[in-house]
Structure 1
Amino acid sequence: MSLISLLDVDYSIGGPLLLDGVSMTVEANERIALIGRNGAGKSTLMRLMVGELKPDDGEVRVAGGVRIARLEQEVPAGAEGSVFDVVAGGLGELGAWLAEFHRLSHAAEFDAEAMSAVQAKIEGAQGWTADQRVAETLERLGLDGDAVFGRLSGGMKRRVLLARALVSAPDVLLLDEPTNHLDIEAIDWLEGFLKSWQGSLVFITHDRRFLRALATRIVEIDRGSLTSWPGDWANYERRREERLNAEAQENARFDKLLAQEEVWIRQGIKARRTRDEGRVRRLEAMRVERRQRREQTGNVRMDLAQAESSGRKVIEAKDATLAYGDRVLVRDFSTRIMRGDRIGLIGPNGSGKTTLLKGLLGELAPVSGEILQGSNLQVAYFDQYRATLREDWNALDNVSEGKEFVEVGGRRKHVLGYLQDFLFTPERARAPITRLSGGERNRLLLAKLFAQPANLLVMDEPTNDLDVETLELLEELLGEYAGTLLLVSHDRDFLDNVVTSTLVMEGGGRVGEYVGGYSDWQRQRPQPAPAPAAAERPAAPKATPAPAAPRPAVRRLSYKETQELEKLPARIEAMEARMATLTAEMNEPAFYQREAAAITAHAAEVAALQADLDAAYARWEALENPQ
């Protein structure tokens, strides 16, 4: 059953259509990832689904009785008071009455008249079940209803706003960048929660691992059009590359034919004879088609300003203890960072990552021990809150700071041309910074950062609001960076692809040091052994070491399993061929003109086939590595 249907929807905010005749459906229990370049229209599509915007043309249909809730990127205006107040606000007027009842019941002085009035309103709306739902939602998400919302961390605020969206018991949940400002522990929690949530989910994310864990379908917005893919990120990347290559070849063939026709028309009056009027009309039509072609958005072109090399030893800490106020966050920490190291910092929000960074950079003196900086350090700092951008300057002024040229990658560039490498048109470069989107602000901060000669890059959450293409380019640039990098990030794939070692805030002031990225840390981290019950603890003799556990023998496959393993590759290949056919059909413009039952059946076959493929791959791995 289709819960939401978009039929030939157009939407524009000036210039080319942001959404151009798009059609799609949201089915029951689907988890759809919306992807596309910054500014492609992902958030706009969500706002159309929830009814906050109306299409210029076409229709958005919501099935009768379907409830939709949306979690926005930013904290909405008016979200204040206690956590209970904010969560209950998701119920509209009834929520306001419940919040008032909650406030009165916790007040120091009992106001019987006010309490009686608000109780009557709630009972008249049969709202006590909603009050119970608020309490259950708070408990389920581990939230204290009496806590002051304004004093919470960014990650906890996101969790409260998720509770606000869930309390209305929506059939469809829309999440816009839900992992922004969440630490890794919170992202893992959110993944698990959403996997078990019973309902349909449409989400926008730059976190590729989060997407791979959740999406059953990927919908890409590109130049006003929608393309639907099964929820397999690797398959999407492969097939998208094939499509773009085919598109480039077709465009090149068309442009060559158009050039030939332009030569022909300029040969003289002979071309305009009556018998050639059809050819002239075809040329005019080709010119119109070429003018209407929407080129793919260009990629950011990144390069780093060169600085003199730092000394070989960049930073050394010896038994350093760092505190924030009276609270010790780093205790007896020692490390040595050498030129060319790329260090990732991992830890929950509030665990002391920023304090550790300040200590390493010499901005915070240790309580005990010492931290020494090497020679000839030139530091460039990327701030996740973008505080280094001046709000009263435009993008051009923020990068140029009064200069006309910047020196980047050994080349002298005009500032305006340099900003075009970061996808800023001259108009956007001169526009007030307050009009820039989150993605544009992050690109601007990267442009400002990379224009500064530096041999030590410090980057605090640089991936927020960046599209996947820009993320991958940033990964490539940092991977080739000859200087030293200190990186705070909660993007697990980004850490895996960039850093050479990690510093992990392990609690109690301990900082663990591990080789490799996030996945390497997960493999190396010590796993706490479950303590046996007191009655089960034997008094083992101290002098006798425990015998080493025998290595388990590798199980041999049975004849039936061997036959199954031999047939699996051909079976998987056949399923992938069928998946390719189904995907191609979904990408045809006429697909969404079919009967609703046919579309639903098609989507169900895709979902079932994807589940079979996943199971086949898992079985293949199990047979290849028998335990």
Structure 2
Amino acid sequence: MANIINLDRVNKGYGAAGQLLTDVSLGLDDDARLGIVGLNGAGKSTLLRMLAKSEEPDSGRVTHRRDLRVATLPQTLNLAAEATVRDVVLGTAWLPQGMGAEHEWAGDSGVRLILDGLGMGYLGLDTPVGPMSGGERRRVALAALLVRESDLLVLDEPTNHLDVAGVDWLAKHLVTRRGALVVVTHDRWFLDEVCTATWEVVDEQVHMYEGGYAAWILARAERQRVAATVEARRQNLLRKEIAWLRRGPPARTSKPKFRIDAANELIADVPPARDTVSLQRLATTRLGKQVYDLEQVTLNAGPKPIFRDLTWQVGPGDRIAILGANGAGKTTLLRLLAGVTKPDGGRLITGSTVKPAFLSQELKELPGHLRLLEAVEEVARRVQLGDRELSAGQLAEVFGFTDKRIWTPVSDLSGGERRRLQMLRLLATEPNVLLLDEPTNDLDTDTLASLEDLLDSWPGTMVVASHDRYLVERVTDVAYGMFGDGKLVHLPGGIDEYLARVQTPIMGGDAGYVSGGGSAATGPGLSQAELRQARKDLSRLERQMTKLTEKAAKINEQLAQHGSDYDKLVELESQLKAVKQEQEQIELAWLELAEQVPGN
């Protein structure tokens, strides 16, 4: 591996935002698959722009390998209104600096394959981009990058405006794509599926971790645990020294020998999984037995039919995910439940105690003349959420607003912060039914974790339309799919079943889709998703075995060096024994897993 980009003592800041990066030195390998995470405003997009050399640092150097081809998808795009899909994707109507027209392999069929994968198969190549929505224009620009070869692909929030199937397709495409990849995204499932390394932008620095989102969370938790331990030791040092002085010289004792199992420590005090039965009991108390009953409902979005004779029931404590392609009608369904629209036929019966809160994708008008805390207190000063009573300030803290930030004028908030405030004000009304339309848009990973923790113990009914696989699998219990046939289909297999239905065409005369079943190629009893996870777990176990082998070799070297030091030998023998025990456990886990995965 060789570095294609180097950052040498880079500093960057802006007047209003302050200093973002201070004395940062990094290198990017030619086969890197890197995810960048951090709070909104920490400097993630700024770091991307400097990696791509579309923005210069205040001081320090950013160097590229000679003739490096960089393809960049920024957050904001400027596409000529008169340009067609063909002009953008195959021509030069919109291209990052240094990118030329299409390569030899790129033709109509190649473009069609990519547009289909991004959920835009309905577009003709001669369709003008002027009338398109912002999401459609962004997907066309992404397709323009994917049809071209590049040494480095830099993507800023590529999963925005993609549905679950589009995110799944993009992940698979990027995993097999040649060249380096750097991505900023709040989609945690995507980070885990695509990335093999993570950079965290925090406190003007960039910390590097091996692995995707899950590995980053574990490593960061361990780093925080160690930092807390160090701080506790520092705090107690003076007290201990005084105690030693009062006792006199301590007796000579052998050094304590111990081995900390960090993983067990990290999960030792984790609360149990969501108690669904108790939450449903609380929800029934608040809602009664009836929430929503749809009887032979017909629903249209303008001239487009969404449902035909739909009969469906939503009960107290139900936690439902609605899955479907962009334009399938998920938002229309939520608007119906929220009472914003009426059915075109049939009946919608809403329980008498239902108090819904509808989070739309649009940023509603917020009181710009107020400060953030005042905007929350305008709705409620204290909020009861399940068994937790929170002040307006405490609720703001849950959503990532620090003591200083709560006094910021609403008019000065960023888009992500305004989205958080919108959600915050919604919950402050103490609803008993939440209707959430893409709630993760513009939220960073830490805020998402806080939101999920809150929703996890929320004792009410919840209907969520989201492309964020991580959130769907964390906070909902049941999934329904919308496939454009006027029906709402129960999916016992959740997102995996949804993807199988939309990705596996029927072999034969009838057009349509069926659920994909297991086969010998996927391993005994494993779905495609389970097979992917099993292969990732095998790779992880192999890396652990390599590290343990290296650790054992170093201990053996130390044993040879300290042959005359009895206490040191005892300590090293104990360490070696622990390493060998861990090796045996990992080898056993690897063998058991390898039997389930074909080709191992």
**TM-score scaled by length of structure 1:** 0.68
Other-structure match for 1:574: 545
The question of 1:341 aligning with 2:318 is answered yes
Q: CA deviation at 1:233?
A: 4.1
Conserved 8 A contact 1:438-1:465? yes
Equivalences for residues 282-361 of structure 1 within 5 A: 309-361=286-338
Q: CA deviation at 1:59?
A: 1.4
Conserved 8 A contact 2:398-2:451? no
Q: CA deviation at 1:498?
A: 1.2
Can you list the C-alpha shifts for 1:551-601, whole angstroms capped at 9, x where unaligned? xxx99xxxxxxxxxxx999977522436999xxxxxxxxxxxxxxxxxxxx
Shift in alpha-carbon separation, 1:464–1:437, aligned structure 2, 3 A: same
Q: CA deviation at 1:520?
A: 6.0
User: What is the alpha-carbon distance in structure 2 between the residues aligned to residue 332 and residue 502 of structure 1?
Assistant: 20
Other-structure match for 1:238: 218
Indicate which of 455, 466, 485 corresponds to 1:478: 455
Conserved 8 A contact 1:504-1:513? yes
User: What is the alpha-carbon distance in structure 1 between the residues aligned to residue 548 and residue 236 of structure 2?
Assistant: 33
Which residue identity lines up with residue 158 of structure 1 in the other structure? R
Other-structure match for 2:383: 407
Other-structure match for 2:274: none
User: What is the alpha-carbon distance in structure 2 between the residues aligned to residue 140 and residue 525 of structure 1?
Assistant: 15
User: What is the alpha-carbon distance in structure 2 between the residues aligned to residue 130 and residue 522 of structure 1?
Assistant: 31
Indicate which of 43, 66, 69 corresponds to 2:71: 69
Other-structure match for 1:57: 59
Other-structure match for 1:177: 157
Shift in alpha-carbon separation, 1:149–1:359, aligned structure 2, 3 A: same
Q: CA deviation at 1:135?
A: 6.6
Shift in alpha-carbon separation, 1:257–1:92, aligned structure 2, 3 A: closer
The question of 1:623 aligning with 2:595 is answered yes
User: What is the alpha-carbon distance in structure 2 between the residues aligned to residue 498 and residue 413 of structure 1?
Assistant: 21
Can you list the C-alpha shifts for 1:227-262, whole angstroms capped at 9, x where unaligned? 322225444333322221111111222344479999
Larger RCO (CA within 8 A; separation ≥ 6): 1
Can you list the C-alpha shifts for 1:259-294, whole angstroms capped at 9, x where unaligned? 9999xxxxxxxxxxxxxxxxxxxxxxxxxxxxxxxx
Greater shift after overlay, 336-345 or 182-191? 182-191
The question of 1:209 aligning with 2:181 is answered no
User: What is the alpha-carbon distance in structure 1 between the residues aligned to residue 330 and residue 477 of structure 2?
Assistant: 18
Q: CA deviation at 1:390?
A: 4.8
Other-structure match for 1:35: 37
Shift in alpha-carbon separation, 1:309–1:388, aligned structure 2, 3 A: farther
Conserved 8 A contact 1:457-1:485? yes
Larger radius of gyration: 1
Shift in alpha-carbon separation, 1:394–1:383, aligned structure 2, 3 A: farther
Shift in alpha-carbon separation, 1:434–1:150, aligned structure 2, 3 A: farther
Conserved 8 A contact 2:129-2:137? yes
Conserved 8 A contact 1:137-1:166? no
Can you list the C-alpha shifts for 1:93-132, whole angstroms capped at 9, x where unaligned? 999xxxxxxxxxxxxxxxxxxxxxxxxxxxxxxx887899
Conserved 8 A contact 1:89-1:164? no
Conserved 8 A contact 2:292-2:315? yes
User: What is the alpha-carbon distance in structure 2 between the residues aligned to residue 312 and residue 579 of structure 1?
Assistant: 61
Shift in alpha-carbon separation, 1:428–1:78, aligned structure 2, 3 A: farther
Other-structure match for 1:249: 229
Can you list the C-alpha shifts for 1:443-494, whole angstroms capped at 9, x where unaligned? 2122111211211111111112222232223222222111111111111121
Conserved 8 A contact 2:79-2:129? no
Conserved 8 A contact 1:499-1:516? no
Give 3-state SS (helix, strand or coil) of 1:372's partner. Answer: strand
Can you list the C-alpha shifts for 1:17-47, whole angstroms capped at 9, x where unaligned? 4223222222223211112233322111111
Give 3-state SS (helix, strand or coil) of 2:26's partner. Answer: strand
Indicate which of 479, 498, 503 corresponds to 1:502: 479
User: What is the alpha-carbon distance in structure 2 between the residues aligned to residue 489 and residue 50 of structure 1?
Assistant: 31
The question of 1:436 aligning with 2:409 is answered no
The question of 1:18 aligning with 2:17 is answered no
Conserved 8 A contact 1:155-1:186? no
Point out where structure 2 has 5 or more consecutive residues left out of the alignment: 116-122, 243-278, 511-523, 526-537, 553-585
Conserved 8 A contact 2:32-2:197? yes
Which residue identity lines up with residue 65 of structure 1 in the other structure? D
TM-align CA RMSD: 4.1
Conserved 8 A contact 1:460-1:489? yes
Q: CA deviation at 1:399?
A: 2.6
Other-structure match for 1:109: none
Give 3-state SS (helix, strand or coil) of 1:221's partner. Answer: strand
The question of 1:3 aligning with 2:15 is answered no
User: What is the alpha-carbon distance in structure 2 between the residues aligned to residue 367 and residue 382 of structure 1?
Assistant: 23
Other-structure match for 1:274: none
Can you list the C-alpha shifts for 1:488-522, whole angstroms capped at 9, x where unaligned? 11111211111121221022212102347424655
Which residue identity lines up with residue 217 of structure 2 in the other structure? E
Give 3-state SS (helix, strand or coil) of 1:363's partner. Answer: coil
User: What is the alpha-carbon distance in structure 1 between the residues aligned to residue 545 and residue 404 of structure 2?
Assistant: 51
Q: CA deviation at 1:226?
A: 2.3
User: What is the alpha-carbon distance in structure 1 between the residues aligned to residue 102 and residue 361 of structure 2?
Assistant: 41
User: What is the alpha-carbon distance in structure 1 between the residues aligned to residue 297 and residue 101 of structure 2?
Assistant: 55
Q: CA deviation at 1:349?
A: 0.7
Equivalences for residues 502-521 of structure 1 within 5 A: 502-515=479-492, 517-519=494-496
Conserved 8 A contact 2:24-2:206? yes
Other-structure match for 1:89: 93
Other-structure match for 1:600: none
Can you list the C-alpha shifts for 1:362-418, whole angstroms capped at 9, x where unaligned? 3333232211111111111212222253556553454333x6834344888764565
Can you list the C-alpha shifts for 1:333-353, whole angstroms capped at 9, x where unaligned? 111111100111110111111
Other-structure match for 1:141: 114
Which residue identity lines up with residue 338 of structure 1 in the other structure? G
Give 3-state SS (helix, strand or coil) of 2:94's partner. Answer: helix
User: What is the alpha-carbon distance in structure 2 between the residues aligned to residue 452 and residue 12 of structure 1?
Assistant: 38
Conserved 8 A contact 1:408-1:450? no
**TM-score scaled by length of structure 2:** 0.71
Q: CA deviation at 1:78?
A: 5.5
Shift in alpha-carbon separation, 1:229–1:426, aligned structure 2, 3 A: closer
Other-structure match for 2:174: 194
User: What is the alpha-carbon distance in structure 1 between the residues aligned to residue 45 and residue 308 of structure 2?
Assistant: 44
User: What is the alpha-carbon distance in structure 1 between the residues aligned to residue 399 and residue 550 of structure 2?
Assistant: 37
Conserved 8 A contact 1:458-1:486? yes
Q: CA deviation at 1:146?
A: 2.4
Indicate which of 50, 55, 59 corresponds to 1:48: 50
Conserved 8 A contact 2:209-2:219? no
User: What is the alpha-carbon distance in structure 2 between the residues aligned to residue 468 and residue 128 of structure 1?
Assistant: 36
Which residue identity lines up with residue 141 of structure 1 in the other structure? I
Conserved 8 A contact 1:382-1:459? yes
Greater shift after overlay, 504-513 or 517-526? 517-526
User: What is the alpha-carbon distance in structure 2 between the residues aligned to residue 476 and residue 421 of structure 1?
Assistant: 9
Q: CA deviation at 1:151?
A: 2.9
Point out where structure 1 has 5 or more consecutive residues left out of the alignment: 96-126, 263-303, 534-553, 556-566, 582-613
Shift in alpha-carbon separation, 1:362–1:615, aligned structure 2, 3 A: farther
Shift in alpha-carbon separation, 1:331–1:165, aligned structure 2, 3 A: same
Give 3-state SS (helix, strand or coil) of 2:342's partner. Answer: coil
Shift in alpha-carbon separation, 1:259–1:395, aligned structure 2, 3 A: farther
Indicate which of 123, 138, 144 corresponds to 1:158: 138
User: What is the alpha-carbon distance in structure 1 between the residues aligned to residue 480 and residue 539 of structure 2?
Assistant: 42
Give 3-state SS (helix, strand or coil) of 1:147's partner. Answer: coil
